[in-house]
Amino acid sequence: MAAGGDCGGYRSPLASRYASPEMCFLFSDKYKFRTWRQLWLWLAEAEQTLGLPVTEEQIQEMKSNLDNIDFKMAAEEEKQLRHDVMAHVHTFARCCPKAAGIIHLGATSCYVGDNTDLIILRNAFDLLLPKLARVISRLADFAKERADLPTLGFTHFQPAQLTTVGKRCCLWIQDLCMDLQNLKRVRDELRFRGVKGTTGTQASFLQLFEGDDQKVEQLDKMVTEKAGFKRAFIITGQTYTRKVDIEVLSVLASLGASVHKICTDIRLLANLKEMEEPFEKQQIGSSAMPYKRNPMRSERCCSLARHLMTLVLDPLQTASVQWFERTLDDSANRRICLAEAFLTADTVLNTLQNISEGLVVYPKVIERRIRQELPFMATENIIMAMVKAGGNRQDCHEKIRVLSQQAAAVVKQEGGDNDLIERIQADAYFSPIHSQLDHLLDPSSFTGRASQQVQRFLEEEVCPLLKPYESVMKVKAELCL
């Protein structure tokens, strides 16, 4: 399921165009059905260890045919049987004639179906976590480098107090750090369905072991350990509780919200010409307007993040309508939403890493915008300086109010530059502080503790969170398009 391929029919753009080959492979038929065979092998090995009549010859035959999958035969079998698991039992048995009688012994379809899904979910998280860590790392480098660079802050997308470029980036990083912790938590809390039988009572296995409860418990534990899980559910119906899927897709949807916010900010800053995503030498921004540098990567992230955020509705509804021990109306839905959620998350993280590795900042544009707005923001400091120089606060306030209105009219009605400071310099009333105006208008004096906050945040919260991922930090993001 790597990118590219036959153009003769529809394929999901996530698999054919956007997501990484590694994530696509996890959700491929080859990986799925190979894992089914591995689960049948683990079950047989555990049953043999616990005394059931499973021979070493049968075990070795299964081992040697794990990858020998006749997909054409499986498809033909499923067409006849209308049952995917039994189709693959028959297909596996065809190439393992000696083991045919013990494949799937005591198990139900969800033994392979649900346990494979849990293995895939765990491994998919293992692909996402380093990618998210790399995005955070790249943005942390960006924030550290620009921790002191003043920029105009916005509330309601209206000019507000100054902040710094690095501090604003830390707002993005903080959300992504929360996502990293949440993805890791849900990944680590995944439990194996284990060996539970048709309705979760383990009745078939209890019969196989002639009522020996301890051996049934051991069987469940052994297969769980072979699959690499620390624990399995004690209670299941035919399936593991579908609330697990809600947890999984909730944290991915939350990641989608974070990415959408970040890339929306980048798109707005691109419009302001203060910041841009990478733009390659041969890249075309518009077929009609050659001068354009559209934020295509950020737009892609927003587009796919919206899709990612909506996918959590599927498991919410599925979990709510699982009657009693289970119904099969979960199956087709889960095949789509689980795969699409991880493929989408994979794509947006690949793209966001690429963006974060090549963000461009234009300090002169930022400085010009500050000059347009800072005079109004500095009025309170000017009033305080005048009071310290012996002036009357109310008189000074009124003088600045009148001059500010005049300067605003020049900006809004005439399209001119903000000339408030020139008006103050020309007014003899303010002569006691004329020599202080440059200091009073120094942008760095309006950013508060922004740079110190950046340093402390990166040192105390971000660096410790990234430490487990140090060995994978140098990997570059490769975009399919």
Q: Active-site positions?
A: 156, 286
Closest of 131, 42, 25 to residue 354, by C-alpha: 131
How many angstroms from the chain centroid is the CA of residue 350? 10
Phi, psi of 342 (to 5 degrees): -75, -40
Q: Cβ distance 454 to 170 under 8 Å?
A: yes
Q: In sequence order, what are the beta bridge partners of 163? A: 151
User: Radius of gyration of the chain from Cα atoms?
Assistant: 31
* CA gap 227, 35 in Å, rounded: 10
Closest of 170, 180, 163, 162 to residue 143, by C-alpha: 170
Q: In sequence order, what are the beta bridge partners of 276? A: 360
End-to-end CA distance of the chain: 16
Phi, psi of 194 (to 5 degrees): 85, -155
Helix, strand, coil distribution of the chain in percent, nearest 5: 65, 5, 30
Closest of 382, 373, 376 to residue 435, by C-alpha: 382
* CA gap 291, 149 in Å, rounded: 28
Locate the DSSP E strands across 275-321. Answer: 275-276
Q: Is 322 helix (H, G, I), strand (E, B) or coil?
A: coil
Q: Cβ distance 242 to 315 under 8 Å?
A: yes
Closest of 126, 235, 131 to residue 186, by C-alpha: 126
* CA gap 197, 115 in Å, rounded: 12
